[in-house]
Amino acid sequence: GENVEQHPSTLSVQEGDSAVIKCTYSDSASNYFPWYKQELGKGPQLIIDIRSNVGEKKDQRIAVTLNKTAKHFSLHITETQPEDSAVYFCAASYTTGNQFYFGTGTSLTVIP
């Protein structure tokens, strides 16, 4: 089955700096990669996703890049703000499957 690794497990950045979280996957059949943000006391919220026919996707301060050859994808958050502090999970899945394989999570702290 698919195995998703996520690094780092914790990340602290100063407000206004950029944050990068990286994930690798093992199954070359995986073709859908969502990112979730989970705030304390809340459920995971989808913040951005990318499909394997695209190399990069941006949404305001958030971007995701995908390298299919190396089987890794990354989340980039620019101009970080304190409200970006949360746990972030990456995931991988494939079209004919029906479940997500989650990474282990990254706890991001943005220091004001």
User: Can you give the binding site for another protein, defined by CB under 8 A?
Assistant: 31-32, 34, 36, 41-46, 49, 51, 87, 89, 93-100, 102-105, 107
Cα(11)–Cα(107) distance, integer angstroms = 6
Query: For 6, phi and psi rounded to 5 degrees?
Result: -130, 135
Cα(29)–Cα(74) distance, integer angstroms = 18
The residue (of 46 and 111) whose beta carbon lies closer to another protein is 46
Cα(80)–Cα(16) distance, integer angstroms = 5
The residue (of 5 and 79) whose beta carbon lies closer to another protein is 5
The residue (of 41 and 112) whose beta carbon lies closer to another protein is 41
* Residue 79 beta carbon to another protein: minimum distance, rounded to whole angstroms: 25
